[in-house]
Structure formats: structure tokens, C-alpha cells
Amino acid sequence: MLTRLRIQNYALIRELDVDLSPGFSIITGETGAGKSILLGALSLILGQRADSSVLNDKSAKCVVEAVFRVDGLGLEELFLSNDLDFDNWAIFRREINPAGKSRAFINDTPVMLKIMQDIGYRLIDIHSQNQNPEINEQSFQLMVVDICAANQELLLSYKSCYADYRRLVSEMNEVESEVEKSKADLDYCQFQFDQLYKAALVENEQEYFEKELELLTHAEEIKSGMTNLTELLDGENISALSQTKTAIGLLGKMTRFLPEATSLAERLESLYVDLKDIAQEGALIAEKIAYDPERIRLINERLDLIYSLQQKHHVKSVNELIILRNSLEARIVAVSSNEEQLVRLAKLKEQKYGETEELARHLSAKRHAVANEIESRVIRQLLLLGMPNSKFKVDIIQLQTPGANGWDQVNFLFTANKNGLLYDISKVASGGEMSRVMLAVKALISKSKALPTIIFDEIDAGVSGEIAERMGIILKEISTDMQVINITHLPQIAAKGDHHFLVYKQDSASETTTRLKRLSRAERIEELAKMLSGENITAAAIMNAEELLK
């Protein structure tokens, strides 16, 4: 519950620090005294955005701080999942500096506004007059039914399952799209791959065959040249080898008397060996090489295939063709893989849809089971609130397929007239009737919803007399299950409070500020008397006020 509220430099509030208690607290004050300012400041704690326009003193920062008792509310996991230390007490603080920059803290740890909202809405509900239309929204109506049916855990399981199902549907759609796009050019890819695969390309074969073709094309010329070379070096007629042999012999005769002859002879002997090797190698080449038209034809055919594939695919080498072939193979395999994945996803989707349907059926059954109880309890409260002829129905319609909240759409149907037909509540309820229906609904869910604090901002607008008295009784009953803070103009309701606070304006020489104080019993009697008779308090008003407090 909310145990303390401190506001500094917000609108007309310069400094306010108030301790709050369990049970039923009343806030009263003249119109314009600043009750809405209190709610505005408190809404900052719930993550509402604000700027420097809320600052009373434009040179100082605004600080709003609220202390909540949070033990026993099951919030430990929520705190820990947001990296926040959990304790029995939670301190929420918002700061807005003169430049309009806002900071949010929970237990002195900086947090994003979204985190403050998520945790704050588990701690306090502010119901203002402009929220009465909320009852017209189907999402709110469904939430009421789920709270009364204690569907919180089941709904979380359903939402998780439904999210998994939607994720599978989305993933399956993406894969189907990929398969369709791939199938559109799969035949062409397969044709190109088959052509390249059939070619059985080998790395660097183009260069090898081009060199071999060059050799075979000039085979006769090479054979003739090598034969002539062999003949010149080692022929039967005068040859280089025989002449070299003769020269070596001449030098050998001179070695006895010419030292230089020995060196020259050795050099000629080395040359003789080289010339002999060249002659033998040339002979072997001439013997091996031959003009082979069939081989030339085969090589030309192979090179023509390679050249045509390169031209077709706009590449310049066999290696690039091999890379393209591997890429086409990967694309073909991917299509096959996607089709297999599609089959797998279809099975998972069908399985998850079955789980989703089962949870949706369970949710629907619990909603239908509690519908009659909701109707009877709301009608019973409306009877107490002076609407004896009202009828209220929870109309649950099954959707064709499960949605984010299950299979059901909930509509609240209403009429305030004895013979009236039931219609959607948004079309037939007046403002005063809407307030009373909303109070009946809030009273209904207060016993079921794990919410420690609720603030009503003039929910009693448009009612008076005996109805106001009954409304006070209902608010008092709600306060037995949770902390209730009610802003009111009606003395019949104000008198039901366990605690009474007065909002008032205080003037000084330089400014007007909003103040808040807890009233003693004597001060409560005086305030109730003012509410009954105006500023001129009469003895009768005092007596009535005392009677109301009894």
C-alpha cells in the first residue's frame, strides 16, 4: 500500500509530505484547491511523461516521491527481472529539472519510465472521472471477467503459447516466401548447375589444354627442328660433337709444353658433355612428338566448351565457373532444405495451435462459469446504488479463431429501465449511471485483484442523498480488502472515511500554494458541516456532521 507521499515544487505545491494509512482515506477541499494537482503529481510516479511546465519554481527541480509497502504482493520476480533489489518497502521517485529532463528511480536505482509504469500499475490504480468510459472498452470488460475467474496464471500461459504459435506462423510465412522465390528460378538454376556439373571442370585445366594445343599444332615444325638439331650436333657427316672431339685431341698434344692447353681442353670436354646431352634430348623429343589430329580435335572441343561457358556466365576462368557451380548447388540444396524446414514448421505450428486451442477452451470455460456470478453481484450493487430496475449481462461471444486473449470477446450489456432491452453499455448508460456501474465493477474486482491501493477521483459525481450514502458504504467495504483513497464533495461519503485529509490553498505575500493536512475529529466535524451548509456553519450542520461521523 501507499504509506507516504512527498511532493516538492510541483504546480501550486511548494512542499508537501504526508503519511497515509491502511483502510479508507478521504480527501476533500473546495473546487480549485488542488485535489487534481495531487493526482497529477502521483501520476508521475506511475510513469506519466512531464516537462518543466509543472515546475512551481522554474529555477529548482521538481521531486515526487512515494513509498509503498510491497511485501506479500508477489513482486519479487518483477523486481529481480528488472535488476532491482527487492525489499518490503519500495521508494518510487521522479525528478524533473528546469530544462525539462526527467529521471526516474526505484529504490535509488535509475530506471526507464516503462519499468516504473509496469511496477507502479501493480501497486496503485487511479480511477478518475474521465476513466468511466474505460468500462466501454472490450479489453477492460474482458480483464474484469478474467480477474473474477482468477485467470491470471492461465492467461499468462495462454499468451506465451499464443506468442509461440504466432512466431511459428511468421517464421513459416517467411520460409514459404523464400521457397516461392527460390522455386521461381529453381528450374533455371538446376539447368545451369547440370550444365556445369556435366562439364566436370577441373581447376587450371584451361591453361594446361591451351599449352598442349599449342604444342600439338606445331608438332611437325618441332619434330623437324629437333631432328636437324640432332644432326648438326651428332650427325654422320661433320658434326659439332666430332669437331669438338678433334679439338680436344689437338689440345691434349700441347699440354706438355703449353700449360694453358690443359685448361682449354677441360672446358671443351665440359662443352662436349653438354652438347651430347642436348643432342640426345633433342632426339628423344623428336621421337616422342607426333602430329595427332584426333587429340587436337578433342582439346579444341574441350576448350570450346570452356570458352562458351565462360562467355555465357560472364567469367574469365575455369576457377570462376567452379565457384559458380558450387553456388548454384548451394541454392538448390537451400530450396530443398527450406522445403524440409517448411514441413517441420508446419508440424510444430499444428502442435502449438492445438496447445493454444486447449488453453483457449480452458479460459473460455472459466469465463462462462463466472459470468452469472458477475452479473448477479453487479446487479446487487446497482440495487444498493438506487438502480432497482437495472439489468446487467456479460455477453461472451466466441471468435472464429483464437486471438491474443483467447477465443472470447466480452461485451457488457446494460439497461437501467424495468422494461428496457439490453444494449452495449456504451450506448445506453448516462454519466451518472456509468459512474455507479463502474463503482460496482471496481467493488467486484477489488476482492479478486492483487492490487494494494485504489484512488477514486470523484466517482460519486452526479449522485447525492441516499445513493451517496450507499456509495460510501460500498467504498468502505472495498477498503476492507485494499487501501482506498477517495476524493469527494459529498459529506455522506466523507464521513465513512477512517482518515480525512483536507486540500486547501494558502496565500502569502508573494504566492498561492496548495496544502494538505490530516484532520482531527473536531476538524472533521467542521469540514463536514461546511460540506453540508457552506461557509456559514449552522448548529444544525454541526449536529448533522456529528451524526454522520457516528
**Three-class secondary structure of residue 57 per DSSP:** coil
Q: Please state, in angstroms and as integers, the Cα–Cα distance from residue 107 to each residue in 93, 116, 460, following that order.
A: 8, 11, 35
The predicted model gives 218-236 an average pLDDT of 81
Rounded mean pLDDT, 453-467: 80
For residue 517, what pLDDT is reported? 92
Per-residue pLDDT of 421-439, as tens digits, reads 899 888 877 777 887 888 8
**Average pLDDT rounded to a whole number, residues 211-234:** 82
Task: Please report the pLDDT score of residue 188 as a whole number.
Answer: 74
Structure-block grid coordinates of residue 134: 474505460
Same-domain check for residues 61 and 92: yes
Instruction: Give the integer Cα–Cα distance in Å for 375 and 213.
Output: 98
How far CA 467 is from CA of 393, 426, 472, in Å, comes to 22, 22, 9
Mean pLDDT across the stretch 66-82? Answer: 89
Task: Determine contact, residues 34/505, Cβ cutoff 8 Å.
Answer: yes
Q: Can you tell me the distance from the alpha carbon of 492 to that of 472, in angstroms, rounded to the nearest whole number?
A: 7
DSSP string for 150-164:
T-HHHHHHHHHHHHH
**Among residues 312, 333, 354, which one ends one of the domains?**
333
533 and 502 together in one domain: no
pLDDT of residue 184: 62
Q: φ and ψ at 499, to 5 degrees? A: -140, 145
Looking at residue 67, its amino acid is: V
- How many other C-beta atoms can be found within 10 angstroms of the C-beta atom of residue 180? 10
478 is a domain residue: yes
Q: Do 478 and 541 sit in the same domain of this protein? A: no
424 falls within a domain:
no
Residue 444 domain-assigned? Answer: no
- Determine, yes or no, domain membership for 400: no
- Give the mean model confidence (pLDDT) for residues 324-345: 78
Nearest-angstrom CA–CA distance, 118 and 97: 24
In 213-256, the DSSP E strands lie at none
Looking at the fold, whether 194 and 317 belong to one and the same domain comes out as yes
Ranges 62-76, 171-185, 279-293, most confident: 62-76
Give the span between the Cα atoms of 124 and 63, in whole angstroms: 19
Question: In Å, how far from its chain's centre is CA 413?
Answer: 36
Determine the Cα–Cα distance for residues 99 and 59; give it in Å rounded to an integer: 9
Q: Are 47 and 94 part of one and the same domain?
A: yes
Q: Which three cell numbers stand for residue 245?
A: 672431339
Do 252 and 118 share a structural domain? no
Cα–chain-centroid distance for residue 483? 35
Q: Is residue 142 part of a domain?
A: no
- How many domains is the chain built from? 3
What's the rounded Cα separation, in Å, for the pair 24 and 293? 112
Query: Looking at residue 450, what is its pLDDT?
Result: 61
Residues 7 and 117 in one domain: yes
Q: What is the CATH number of the domain that holds 50?
A: 3.40.50.300
Structure confidence at residue 110 (pLDDT): 93
List, for residues 250-285, the tens digit of each pLDDT value.
Answer: 888 888 888 888 888 889 899 989 888 988 888 888
Q: What are the C-alpha distances in Å from 74 to residues 271, 444, 451?
A: 104, 21, 11
Residue 481 and residue 462 share a domain: yes
Residue 132: band (very low, low, confident or very high) from pLDDT cuts 50, 70, 90: low
| pLDDT over threshold 90, residue 5 | yes
Please state, in angstroms and rounded to a whole number, the distance separating the CA atoms of residues 94 and 103: 6
Q: Report the first-to-last Cα separation within the chain, whole angstroms.
A: 27
State the pTM of this model.
0.64
Does residue 111 lie within any of the structural domains? yes
pLDDT exceeds 70 at position 326: yes
Grid coordinates of 233: 650436333
Q: 23, exposed or middle or buried, with CB in 10 Å at 0-12, 13-18, 19+?
A: middle
pLDDT of residue 191: 79
Strand partners, 125: 454
How are strands ordered across the β-sheet holding 483-487? Answer: 124-127, 453-457, 483-487, 24-28, 499-507, 512-518
- Contact at 8 Å (CB) between 114 and 68? no
Residues 203 and 318 placed together within one structural domain of the fold:
yes
pLDDT over threshold 60, residue 107: yes
Query: Does residue 356 fall inside a structural domain?
Result: no
Residues 528 and 514 in one domain: no
> Does the residue 237 lie in any domain?
yes
The reply to whether 4 and 37 lie within a common domain is yes
Averaged over 409-424, what is the pLDDT? 90
Last-in-domain residue among 310, 333, 356 = 333
Torsion of CA 262, 266, 271, 273, to 10 degrees: 140
Do 508 and 545 fall into the same domain? no
Burial of 239 (0-12, 13-18, 19+ CB in 10 A): middle
Indicate the average pLDDT of the chain: 87
Instruction: Supply the Cα-derived Rg of the chain in whole angstroms.
Output: 49
Task: Give the list of residues 6+ apart from residue 538 with CB closer than 8 angstroms, or none.
Answer: 529
What residues contact residue 336 under an 8 Å CB cut-off, 6+ apart? none
Q: What is the pLDDT of residues 145-199, one digit of tens each?
A: 998 998 988 998 999 999 999 999 998 888 777 777 766 676 777 778 888 888 8
Interacting residues of 471 by C-beta distance below 8 A, sequence separation 6+: 385, 436, 439, 459, 460, 463, 490, 492, 493
CA–CA gap between residue 317 and residue 324 (Å, rounded): 11
Domain that holds residue 538: 524-550
Last residue of a domain, one of 304, 333, 362: 333
